[in-house]
Amino acid sequence: MWQAWVNGILGLWLIIAAFLHISPAGNLWDNLIVGVIVAIIGYLMVSKKSWQGWLSVVMGIWLIIAAFIPALQLHTANLWNDLIVGILVAIAGFGALGGSNT
């Protein structure tokens, strides 16, 4: 299931991005917590339960919203990282809801 791989990789990227020294403390914790959740969702998504897809969609939407919270963003790179990863996580979540195995 491609959605599981995408979420797993994006979750790991968020965990790594949390420790890059270009983000404020709020963004560090946001990316770390959401990254762990998204990585776990990616691992659990292999069993094809709908709640993992919905949780992935919610995490993606949260990342999109967090991209525009000024207290969480120090640089434009943080905004774009959260925005792009949020969109991809939400797309993978919606794709998992469709039940496609390819």
Q: What is the pLDDT of residues 24-41, one digit of tens each?
A: 666 778 878 888 888 888
Q: What is the mean pLDDT of residues 78-92?
A: 86
User: Are the CB atoms for 63 and 48 separated by under 8 Å?
Assistant: no
Extended strands (E) in 1-102: none
Q: Among candidates 93, 88, 76, 77, which has minimal Cα distance to 17?
A: 77
Q: What is the mean pLDDT of the chain?
A: 79
CA angle 43, 46, 47 (to 5 degrees): 115
Distance CA 18, CA 28 (A): 4
